[in-house]
Amino acid sequence: MNRVAIFTDGACKGNPGPGGWGALLRMGTVEKELVGAEPLTTNNRMEMTAVIRALQALNRPCEVDLYSDSKYVIDGITKWIHGWQKKGWLNAQRKPVLNADLWREMLEAARPHTITWHWVRGHDGHAENERVDRLASDAADAVRQRSRTG
């Protein structure tokens, strides 16, 4: 099974507001950057989208080390999601889970892979995290600029 390192980040200019996401996939010495944006979204949705799109880019089952600076993503996928599923996608307050559509999509994207989830502190000099932060921020800036100019 191939081993892949994935680094992800999301950014939002306003929350909600124009947002972007970035991902870096690395297998050995081969790297691929992915990036995307939405004109009106939230930071959490962009963090999740980066993870989903990166996992969907893998064309066969892999052993994945996935790095994110989002506690929401890491805790959600490793701690909270099982309870949400058991409760019919309701949270502890018996209200619908926010971003349930993306949590479901993330579960589906993760299914073929063996994933080790890693939290990294954002803006702390982690080279790959800084790189995907720049991708996400630039994508959010670009979509914001496009929406201003029409």
Q: What percent of the chain has pLDDT over 90?
A: 94
Band of pLDDT at residue 150, cut at 50, 70 and 90: low
CB 44 within 8 A of CB 99: yes
Band of pLDDT at residue 80, cut at 50, 70 and 90: very high
- Mark whether 47 is an active-site residue: yes
Pairing verdict, β 17-27 and 62-68: unpaired
How far apart are the C-alpha atoms of 9 and 11, rounded to whole Å?
A: 7
Q: Chain-wide mean pLDDT for the chain?
A: 96
pLDDT in tens, 112-139: 999 999 999 998 999 999 999 999 999 9
Mean pLDDT, residues 54-70: 98
pLDDT in tens, 17-47: 999 999 999 999 999 999 999 999 999 999 9
CB 134 within 8 A of CB 141: no
- Mark whether 123 is an active-site residue: yes
How far apart are the C-alpha atoms of 79 and 101, rounded to whole Å?
A: 18
- Mark whether 133 is an active-site residue: yes
- Mark whether 118 is an active-site residue: no
How far apart are the C-alpha atoms of 64 and 98, rounded to whole Å?
A: 26
- Mark whether 9 is an active-site residue: yes
Tokens encoding 65: 């080390």
Q: Which of 17, 38, 47, 76 is catalytic?
A: 47
Q: Which residue segments constitute the domains of the chain, with CATH numbers given?
A: 2-149 (3.30.420.10)
How far apart are the C-alpha atoms of 61 and 72, rounded to whole Å?
A: 25
